[in-house]
Structure 1
Amino acid sequence: MNPREIFKSPLDDSEGVINVRKYRPEAASKTVKVELESFPDQPLESMPQSAGSLNEEIGAALSEILAIIKETVQARTVAFCWVNRAKKKFIVSAVQTDSENFTQEKSWAFQSDAVTQIVIAQKAQLYTEISPSDEPALVPYYQAPNTIKAFMGVPVFYRDDILGVLFADSLVKGAFGHDDVHLLSRFGRLCSAFIEKYDLKSSYIESTRFADAAQFLTHGLYRTLDLNDILQRFCESVSQAIDFDHLALALLNRKSELIVRKSISKSQYIAEGQAIDLERSAVGHAVTKGNYGAIDDLSQLGETPRFYVGETISTSASSATAKQGSMLILPIRLGDLTAGVLTLEHRETRYFNAELFRKARFFVETLALALHRLLLDDQRRTLTPIDEETGTLSLRTFYTRLSADINRCLRHQQALALILIEFDNPDALRARYGATSLSMMMQQAARIIAANTRSYDLLARFGELSYAVCLTGISETHVRFWAEKIREQILNFAFETEDKFKNIIATVSIGIARLRENEPEIETLVANAQKALEHAKLSGGNVVKIF
């Protein structure tokens, strides 16, 4: 089944917590062909007018998107309005503004303003310079003039119709360019995804018996940005709403390998951490083709494995490899990219009908929405100048300032060192203390490191449990002394947690790389520091290594 694509262009590759890739399989020695019974798309009605929690969720989701846009493009106001073309009105849905006199009216009529022009032209609009005399006519959503100098807006489509308008303005002339409009368009497509998925969600929640499981999942997803928590809640929700014997949830990693992250079974099944063969398995074939559907009788697979060659899967007491029953396969799609797959298996043949498919697809679409949110948050953290959690520089800002420091040190023939500091045994720390306590630990560690730096030194969040520091005008001996000092201070510090009766005692590995005149590239400097850090971790941790 090929669902209608929402996004016109693929998202950029991300190396953050979520990895989405276009998979291009290499030529396989054996062609695998798996026939899936397809289910037709359930036709969607027009946007529902239901009130209550659903509308509140849509408003909360849109407000979160607007806040990210406002911070990213440094706008004075960012707003989303529904478009009622029959009544020729805009209905304000969500606003993020610094102005005290944004209109208090819930709607305003079409005029000759910039927002109306977006609806008429059905295209993005950009005003780089707005004169004071033109402001009242072009920007009608303020109760008084705000000296707005720049405006941009994009239409938000639902199917082929304009459903809303997303726009932003600024007090600075020329504040927005074509790149900003392109970025706003991407956010507009994300709004389209929200709207479509909420349309799908509303029809399911109001018409099927799995409302409790659906609400448990959707309400919980907006309380966390932790991938493990999201996947756990997703599996619990599917288990509550659908009867099955086996569940496997797999996501693509940075190497474009499809790895099982969650496995629920009543007997021996595929293990968590196992890679799925994308070229020679039934599930891999469905993922690479982007096919939704069911295998009504697994015995028809013959020699083709479910997940990988040589798998040992027991679905009955009689055989550890027998293929019996039926399987539902649903790739997790982010636009035209694949992020993973959900498979459900039942001992009965032809078990998964259209109703069960629609239920499972709802959960998969909701999970895709959550993964989109994680990806968006990861991109936002890259774009913003300060890491919100620790108050240190963001990675993007750090690289920009590091590049400037490298150029300055090369001109003045000064020494420069890049230091990477990472907590040892991260998996054990996560398992024992949880996300909140580790966040507190990172904040306290940032204060320790910052207290030992000068005003012009650079300190940035480099990873989930790591920092990067740039020191200039300091010899190799003093750099090592500084790193040893940080290592000892962290080793001897009792980090506070959310449990006032429990502290974290942790160690760090530190890798150092010095700037060399014959290798002035920032990529080389970072790679050398990472090699030194890896050497320190392989040496047992709690040690300083210099490349």
Structure 2
Amino acid sequence: MKGKFLKELEVITKISQRIQKQEELRDALQEMLIMAKDAYNIGNGIVLINEDGKLKTLAIVGYPEGVFDLTFDIKSGQGIIGFSAKKRKTIVVSDVAKNPHYILGIPDTKSEVAVPIIIKRKIIGVLNFESPEKNAFKKTDVKNAQALAAVIGFMILNFKTQKKLEKVVKRLEMLTKATTRLNNTVRLSNTLSAIVKVIKDYFEYKYFDIMLKDDKGDLVPIKTSKDFPINVIKNFKANINRGEGLTGTAAKLGEIVCVNDVAKDKRYIPAIKDIRSEIVIPIKVQGELIGVLDIEDPELNRFKRDDIKILSVLAIEIGIAIQNASLYEKTKELATTDELTGLANYRSFRDYLDREVKRAERYQKSFSLVMFDIDYFKQYNDQNGHDQGNVVLKRIGKILLYNNRSVDLPARFGGEEFVTILPETSKRGALAYAERIRKVVEKTKFKGESRQPNGRLTVSGGVAEFPKDGNTSAKIIKAVDTACYEAKDSGRNQIRGFNELH
């Protein structure tokens, strides 16, 4: 008797040692069943795992293919397998034909033994054997099956612990890489693109988007949204104060909103047909909401506890990255923009002009430079005050902004002087542009302009073309300044081209 026990113990030990070498749980269980069948000759075997109250096949040996594609409900005690899990005890059936719980699997089954796999008082699965003989499972066979179930339980626990650790390590690596990538970008557009790439690289969600809060209190999608239909992104807005949709609700509450079945949530606003789950995570900077991270997926119950944790940390990093990028953009804007008019400042103008000179030289192209000077501006300031003079400068700045192409660069040259760089534009085209601006200014009503010498506020302008009128930045500036001076000297409120003087 003692020798038999030692032999059985040796078999269990060998099985345990062999399956520990397997890297995948399914492979380990499959090998265990094969070894058990050969060692004990106890019939066909199957291991089922508990998934949300349903027992599903994970490993199987000896059965025809497709026989156990079934699931067994634990709560209702479905089948001998489900009944064993419900009662949390081993069920031995000597003749399945006489057992009311038996569900026909294969016709020649006569007896069955089902052993629940329990870890920390929780049913995590069932080990089941069937035999074509009645009374096939003796006490020794049942004990062996129970011993195997215990081994399987520890094995599943080890695998879960290992996988959990691997998952934690992987997520920590992901966060480290994500943080590094986000911190290495300073431009806002690059930052938003980097964020989308991080989520795309490390998660497999169907749709996701970053929505930023605008000045009106609406959440507006950004252009880097992943896979959202264009019409959805283009037309979507969610008002925060009214808590519109799941995105608006999360923003209003300042809390994560996770819905694993949107069909059952009245707050959900349908936008895409196949969506089943959605999670919205507020993005905050120093406690203030700046936007939300919105993720949607066609799978029910898509977002697990670990997903929510990692996405919450990522949302914090996103907030910091957006703040840093916004500060950079603001600082850069202040360094390159005239604070009063919103036009490019002198430094930015010179940088752009130098680049345009190099580009024109390289591709043998021409461009034109236009300069405007407000007529009798000192007199206007003296009569109306500097505050009103600033209003005039702002309005002329807007006129220049609204009357140029995207490739043109209007800038404040200094004081009451303005310039515009017109790439790939001939002098003739530049003269037409300058004349159009002159007429717009002339027709614009300015407070106190009736006291100006001409009865209204006007501008004079000069035009020069590169490289005809100057083949360096300094020379083209000198040429356009000369032309502008000539326009003023000839009576003001007119445009002159540099070549007209020579």
- Give the structure-1-normalised TM-score: 0.37
Higher normalized contact order (CA 8 Å, seq sep 6+, divided by chain length): 1
TM-score between the two structures when normalised by the length of structure 2: 0.40
Q: Per residue, is there more helix in 1 or in 2? A: 2
Q: Larger C-alpha radius of gyration, 1 or 2?
A: 2
